[in-house]
Amino acid sequence: MTEQADLHADAEVGGSNHGFDPAARLAERRDRNLDRDLQPADRVAARTRMAPDPRGTRPDYGDERLVFAANNYLGLAQDDRVVRAAQQAARSVGTGAGASRLVTGDTGLHRALERDIAVAKGTERALLFSSGYAANVGTITALDPDVIFSDELNHASIIDGCRLSGAETVVYDHCDPNSLAEEMAARNISGEADEQCDANVQRDADESWLVVTDSVFSMDGDVAPLAEICDVAERFGAWVMVDEAHATGLYDGGGIVQRDGLADRIEVQMGTLSKALASQGGYIAGSEPLVEHVVNAARSFVFSTGLAPPAVGAAREALRIAREGDRREQLWDNVEYLRDGLTSLGYDVLGETQILPVLVGSRDDAVALADRIRDCGIVAPAIRPPTVPEGTSRIRVAPMATHTTAELDRCLDAFEIAGQERGLL
């Protein structure tokens, strides 16, 4: 028996986990009602069959359900045009990039999508990443700011980027430019902001400040006041980075930045290809020097294989459809119909976007409501602490452009039945 085998045998006999005990950690999660499982779907569409978590076995699909839980907002994941674009990319370029883009994984297809994104975002250049998570973590660490000012409800990828950057991170109140200004003023050398003075005179001229915020927040469905945030950032000489993951392709063909006409005031625009653009990957858009620096300094770009060509081809076609077709109008019609219907039933619906958080309150009520809605054939998840604050548990409802009026009515019927049974209406 080899020394390696001896070590394994000793571990099995002694039953030691050498400090690791996944089963105990999982049990602790279950005790706190924080465990989750995987529930495979047989397709990505407005209607699908789903299976209980099969662990390591084959999925056993049940009845078809209507999906109001996906970020496939424009319903393009099964669109024939998008599928054909992915197939064509695989045939002409290959199924995988094969290497980091700094080696041989950089193709003309990647560059074509980056040019299209730059046009949509009104910037000099764009850069693709393997995921939105990689885009945020890589870009924030590459910028290497001294101080980061981060909205308290920013996405986990932004939070992790802040941690990995090693910067001092200051969390300001959600969507509150006044809180941001107060935090910035507190860190000024002079101690108080002066709108008439150059911010660089008030603090170390070499110190870099970065403001990072989502544009559309995925759990509350609200929108950051980007113009006011830019006002504060400019007053203190800071850069602004905006995560448009849940906005890309839905507003004027770009995002909230484009809707509000702020492309020339925001240094870094980030987004994903995996939501409205029905593909995979992330991007940043900005100036030529910014992108060239990130190409060289973002470890999640440098040390990752280039985005798979079929994903690039699919995203490029989806972006074209989002900008030129009527899918956005169809989505907003469905959003308005569903919001009005839920409100008429007596539910408190938060936000102002395609994300409709139905506020429930208690964790138990939210979970029970989601389970009953599922029994009625509707998939819409319960969102509970720690993802949201205590007392604000909710059902997150996300319609697609491809849902029919009859399907929207089925969703409303399910909420009415479940709400009445739970005593919430």
- Residue where one domain finishes, among candidates 292, 324, 356: 324
Instruction: Examine the domain organization and report whether 285 and 300 are in the same domain.
Output: yes
- Residue where one domain finishes, among candidates 282, 306, 324: 324
346-376: pLDDT as tens digits: 999 999 999 999 999 999 999 999 999 999 9
pLDDT of residue 189: 59
Instruction: Examine the domain organization and report whether 304 and 400 are in the same domain.
Output: no
Element (H, E) at 269: strand 268-272
pTM above 0.85, yes or no: yes
Query: ∠ CA(340), CA(392), CA(44), 5° rounding?
Result: 60
Using the predicted structure, report yes or no on whether residue 1 has a pLDDT greater than 90. no
Instruction: Examine the domain organization and report whether 383 and 294 are in the same domain.
Output: no
Q: Which of 73-77, 118-122, 200-204, 369-373 is least confident?
A: 200-204
Instruction: Examine the domain organization and report whether 331 and 222 are in the same domain.
Output: no
How sure is the predictor about 252, in pLDDT bands with cuts at 50, 70 and 90?
A: confident
Residues 6 or more apart whose CB falls under 8 angstroms from that of 30 comprise: none
Q: Is 16 a catalytic residue?
A: no
Q: Are 236 and 209 in contact (CB under 8 A)?
A: yes
pLDDT of residue 40: 86
CA distance 153 to 81: 36
- Residue where one domain finishes, among candidates 324, 357, 385: 324
CATH number for 290: 3.40.640.10
Q: Is 18 a catalytic residue?
A: no
Query: ∠ CA(69), CA(71), CA(76), 5° rounding?
Result: 115
How sure is the predictor about 203, in pLDDT bands with cuts at 50, 70 and 90?
A: low
Instruction: Examine the domain organization and report whether 66 and 90 are in the same domain.
Output: no
Instruction: Examine the domain organization and report whether 49 and 116 are in the same domain.
Output: no
158-176: pLDDT as tens digits: 999 999 999 999 999 999 9
Instruction: Examine the domain organization and report whether 311 and 330 are in the same domain.
Output: no
Is 269 inside a domain boundary?
yes
Which of 110, 155, 275, 403 is catalytic? The answer is: 275
Nearest to 187 by CA among 238, 151, 262: 238
Instruction: Examine the domain organization and report whether 355 and 310 are in the same domain.
Output: no
User: In Å, how far from its chain's centre is CA 296?
Assistant: 25
Is 312 inside a domain boundary?
yes
Range of the domain at 71: 37-77+326-422
Instruction: Tally Cβ neighbours within 10 Å of residue 23.
Output: 9
Which of 121, 155, 246, 403 is catalytic? The answer is: 246
Is 5 inside a domain boundary?
no
- Number of domains the chain is built from: 2
Which of 131, 165, 218, 300 is catalytic? The answer is: 218
How sure is the predictor about 199, in pLDDT bands with cuts at 50, 70 and 90?
A: very low
Using the predicted structure, report yes or no on whether residue 320 has a pLDDT greater than 80. yes
User: In Å, how far from its chain's centre is CA 291?
Assistant: 21
Q: Is 246 a catalytic residue?
A: yes
Is 17 inside a domain boundary?
no
When pLDDT is averaged across residues 73-92 and rounded to a whole number, the result is: 98
Is 334 inside a domain boundary?
yes
Q: Are 213 and 154 in contact (CB under 8 A)?
A: yes
222-247: pLDDT as tens digits: 999 999 999 999 999 999 999 999 99
